[in-house]
Amino acid sequence: MNKKFRLGLTAVLAGSLLLAGCGGGDKPAANGGDNAPKTGGSLNIAINADPPKLDPSFSTALVERQVFQSLYDTLLELKPDGTLAGELAEKWEVSEDKKTYTFKLRQGVKFHDGTDFNAEAVKFNFERYMDKASTRRAELEAVENVSAVDANTVKVTLKKPFAPFLSVLADRAGMMVSPAAVKKYGEDFVNNPVGTGPFKFKERVKGDKLVLEKNPNYWQKGLPKLDSVTYKVINSSDVQLVNLKSGQVDIIDKFPDKEVDNVKNDPKIKVINELSYAFQGIHINVTKPPFDKKELRQAVDLLIDREAIVKVALHGTGAPAHSPFAKGHFAYGDSDKAPKPDLAKAKELLAKAGVPNGFSFTLTISTTPLNQQIGSLIQGMLKPAGIDVQLEKVEFGQMLEKGKAVNHQALMLGWSGRPDPDQNIYQFMKTKEPNNYTGYSNTKVDELLLAARTETDTTKRKGIYDEAMKILNDELPYIYTYHEANLLGFSKSVQGFEYVPDGLIRTANLSK
């Protein structure tokens, strides 16, 4: 075993580099506006949906992760430059065979209920997340055993080397909840969250707001700066902007893309416009006609004009996509270059598949205005080849059910993205994984995705992903369309914000 702990606390995340900006509004400076940082007071943040479950063990929604940043600390954290650093785990060592991780925990940390954060609490959380009832189970499937060596040391043994392991611990699977509170509230913990984060739960009004108050015993000296944070549920990005302009909220999590250019010179508002880890596209059911014929999937892929989607539907924000790897991932490269629309080549493929005059299929989309607009754009792009697209609009929950059951012909649904490439491809493309909504199964792709998980050399991992994407961009079980941008709006009175590539709003250092 390597006896040398990582004293610098910072681990280079496999391939996660600083994301390139993509134009638009200015960033608030790291120290915010012109005035000196203040303490006290409250901040209102508009979020685009009511967080269903305030428990990381059962969380599935992006909006929950926004709130979790205030409630829960993680063992590791993602830094603004895309690297990983210790948070509740101060340092760690990795065995030479890459299968054993020994974490030294931060001492003197307490949960909001006054109980101690220690090795037994970490063991409890790992085992809870590994339970079959938890939605975190797949993220920790490589874990074989967790033991508390002493009060401040935890040893985690893996079944085999797992390159994304540290990255996983910087998200929900690494969030520490109070064991005592879980035992006290049982299933109702989702409504009574208790972590070690800078703010603690005070109250919520379903569908309206969620109020957090300062954790006076927070382990980071001088933080949080605010007395309270209130998350206000405002579904419409346009309405969010109205509230930002009027001062009813200080931050919005969905700045309307069509307004980015209009606020460049606004004296009161600034915009974060950064390319995200996310991708959007279409799950194709490869198990049934018409898309059991590869040529038809290739024809659809060739007819979609990604540049037009970005320009028209996203008002220039975001970027065309042909892989799950956006700029900033080490696996990003040639695999992400989408083909130029080619009607003649598409017609050749249709003829090869025996349908020279085209065919029809149903594209299932969600009810959001953006998805309906993109669905209509794709409908128009495929029409010249004789491909008739019927749009089926369903609620988001129904979309997920259709995907899980592979009960569709084509399903337009994306992913919010994660720092490690494995987290953006493995569960989508490997046989029978939970996010494989296409029914796709390829032994060679399975082998490559498994190999990428155990390879710790970044250059070699990229080569493995390149090889996998060469197959996937030929067989096309999923047609990637674009990488979206993180668009956040801020009052210029807000200070202390730092952009982190996951796009989440961290509140500990904020003031106004």
Q: pLDDT tens digits, residue range 9-54?
A: 333 333 332 222 333 333 334 444 445 567 999 999 999 989 989 9
Q: What percent of the chain has pLDDT over 90?
A: 84
Q: In terms of DSSP bridges, do strands 42-47 and 228-233 run parallel, antiparallel, or are they unpaired?
A: parallel
In this predicted structure, the answer to whether residue 201 has a pLDDT above a threshold of 90 is yes
Q: Mean per-residue pLDDT for 172-190?
A: 97
Residue 150 CA to residue 127 CA, distance in Å, equals 17
Q: What's the Cα-to-Cα distance from 64 to each of 70, 79, 117, 433, rounded to whole Å?
A: 11, 20, 23, 23
Closest Cα to residue 419, out of 498, 477, 504, 487? 504
Q: What's the Cα-to-Cα distance from 193 to each of 38, 56, 75, rounded to whole Å?
A: 28, 9, 17
Max alpha carbon distance in the chain (Å)? 71
Q: pLDDT tens digits, residue range 365-422?
A: 998 889 999 999 999 999 999 999 999 999 888 888 999 999 999 999 999 888 899 9
In this predicted structure, the answer to whether residue 225 has a pLDDT above a threshold of 60 is yes
Return the H-helix or E-strand segment holding 443.
Answer: helix 443-454
Residue 307's pLDDT band, with cuts at 50, 70 and 90, is very high
Burial profile 399-435: b = 16 or more Cβ within 10 angstroms, e = fewer: bbebbeebebbbbbbbbbbbbbbbbbbbbbbbeebeb
* Cα within 13 Å of Cα(456), Cβ side: 15
Q: Mean per-residue pLDDT for 322-350?
A: 96
Q: Mean per-residue pLDDT for 302-330?
A: 96
- Average pLDDT taken over every residue of the chain: 91
**What is the pLDDT, as a whole number, of residue 400?**
86
Residue 281 CA to residue 365 CA, distance in Å, equals 11
**What is the pLDDT, as a whole number, of residue 3?**
34
Q: pLDDT tens digits, residue range 242-260?
A: 999 999 999 999 999 999 9
**What is the pLDDT, as a whole number, of residue 82?**
85
Residue 326 CA to residue 31 CA, distance in Å, equals 28
**What is the pLDDT, as a whole number, of residue 285?**
98
The answer to which of 36-40, 64-68, 235-239 has the lowest mean pLDDT is 36-40
**What is the pLDDT, as a whole number, of residue 52?**
87
**What is the pLDDT, as a whole number, of residue 177?**
98
In this predicted structure, the answer to whether residue 138 has a pLDDT above a threshold of 60 is yes
Partnered with residue 327 across adjacent β-strands are 329
In this predicted structure, the answer to whether residue 325 has a pLDDT above a threshold of 80 is yes
**What is the pLDDT, as a whole number, of residue 221?**
94
Which spans in 309-422 are helix H? 343-352, 369-382, 396-404
In this predicted structure, the answer to whether residue 7 has a pLDDT above a threshold of 70 is no
Partnered with residue 47 across adjacent β-strands are 233
Cβ-in-10-Å burial (0-12, 13-18, 19+) of 443 comes to: exposed
Residue 273's pLDDT band, with cuts at 50, 70 and 90, is very high
Domains, the chain, with CATH or none:
73-191 (3.90.76.10), 201-274+487-491 (3.40.190.10), 275-485 (3.10.105.10)
For residues 328 and 407, the model is more confident at 407
